[in-house]
Structure 1
Amino acid sequence: MAIKTALPIAFSCGHTETVDLTHVPAGRRKNHAFGLGKNRVCTKCFKTQGAADLDKLNRQTLLDAAAFEQEHELPELTGTEKQLNWATRIRYQVLAAVLEEQDEETASEAFAAARTLTRSGWWIDNCADKDLDTDDHLELIATADESGQPEHVATENPF
């Protein structure tokens, strides 16, 4: 009879899941399975918990961003609800980094230019790249020209 490699594990959340333990030496599989069940939750509960934690973090970031916008007199952004949430977080992170890393004069110039950028799409398109640093963001904000951009772009597609 072959030694089982997949064992059913009763997790601490109350769910049971069959887990492949081929990476664990045969003599330690049952003990490892017991330890997993005692100290961990099933995959479904782990994903649910991760999604809840992420949602909580996003809500807190949006609350911090709203207080930051009010404190620095930033105008509201325009766009869809999804764009607004994303762009608000981006603008908050970019401008908070500018405040932290730049002198007062440079920061005030950046904030003055940022007050004219109210289209969510601009912040998403230009500042969402993780490879950009604060100097890159400053250059993008200082050279932004939103005057020719329409608020809504209509398409020929009727759907």
Structure 2
Amino acid sequence: MAIRTNWEIVHSCGHEVTHNLSDRPADRRAGFARWLAGRDCTVCWRAARDSDTESKEAWLAARRAEEHQAVTDWAARFEMPPLEGAEKALDWGARSRHQLVTAAHTALVLEGTWSDEDWSVLEEKARTLTRASWWIDQRDAEGRDLPELLDAATDADRGTENPFR
């Protein structure tokens, strides 16, 4: 006799839904059905998720504040200059710079073969790039690619002390 694929599940919200579990191995269907019974149905789960925007916003604000503090502390510790650009891009650019530079340090120094002297040269190059948008554009790059990215940066990506530029 074949193991059934359609299961009538009474969810914890009280709704009864037929679930097709044919995409699961036969020996895992009963356990998954039991797990589903302990959860709200999809409709109720979405409604609860969409109505709980205050706690999501509070969580996101707290997370952003933690990230901002970590990035600010890191920038001060390693003497990274403030970034330039649109006000909306500054935090995102700083976060992107922090993530890429720390990933590069891990890949090149901690897991790679670079010496501290090699890293110091790269870190100095990174300090010259103060355009937030440049760092945002590199947000998906691998840490090991940072040396090549820094070499490819143009003068337009570097800051200037001339306020009339």
TM range (shorter): 0.5 to 0.7
Please report the TM-score for the alignment, with normalisation by the length of structure 1. Answer: 0.63
Displacement of 1:82 in angstroms is 1.8
1:9 maps to 13
2:106 maps to 100
Find the aligned partners of 1:57 and 1:20 in 2 and give their Cα distance.
37
Task: Check conservation: 1:110, 1:142, Cα contact below 8 A.
Answer: no
> Share of identical aligned residues, percent?
26
- Structure 2 residue corresponding to 1:136, chosen from 145, 153, 157: 145
Find the aligned partners of 2:122 and 2:158 in 1 and give their Cα distance.
20
Residue 135 (structure 2) pairs with residue 123 (structure 1): yes
Instruction: Name the CA shift for 1:133/1:113 in 2 (closer, same or farther; >3 Å).
Output: same
1:138-157 mapped onto 2 (5 Å cutoff): 138-147=147-156
The list of structure 1 runs, each at least 4 consecutive aligned residues, that deviate by more than 3 angstroms after superposition, is 4-10, 45-52, 147-151
Displacement of 1:147 in angstroms is 4.0
Residue 77 (structure 2) pairs with residue 71 (structure 1): yes
Instruction: Name the CA shift for 1:6/1:44 in 2 (closer, same or farther; >3 Å).
Output: farther
Task: Check conservation: 1:98, 1:107, Cα contact below 8 A.
Answer: no
- Structure 2 residue corresponding to 1:21, chosen from 9, 17, 20: 17
Which blocks of at least 5 consecutive residues in structure 2 are unaligned? 1-7, 22-32, 161-165
Which blocks of at least 5 consecutive residues in structure 1 are unaligned? 11-18, 152-159
Residue 123 (structure 2) pairs with residue 111 (structure 1): yes
Displacement of 1:142 in angstroms is 3.0
RMSD: 3.7
Find the aligned partners of 1:87 and 1:137 in 2 and give their Cα distance.
15
**Count of residues paired in the alignment:** 130
Find the aligned partners of 1:120 and 1:60 in 2 and give their Cα distance.
20
1:154 maps to none
Matched to 1:36, the amino acid is R
Residue 21 of structure 1: SS of its match in structure 2? strand
Please report the TM-score for the alignment, with normalisation by the length of structure 2. Answer: 0.61
Residue 18 of structure 2: SS of its match in structure 1? coil
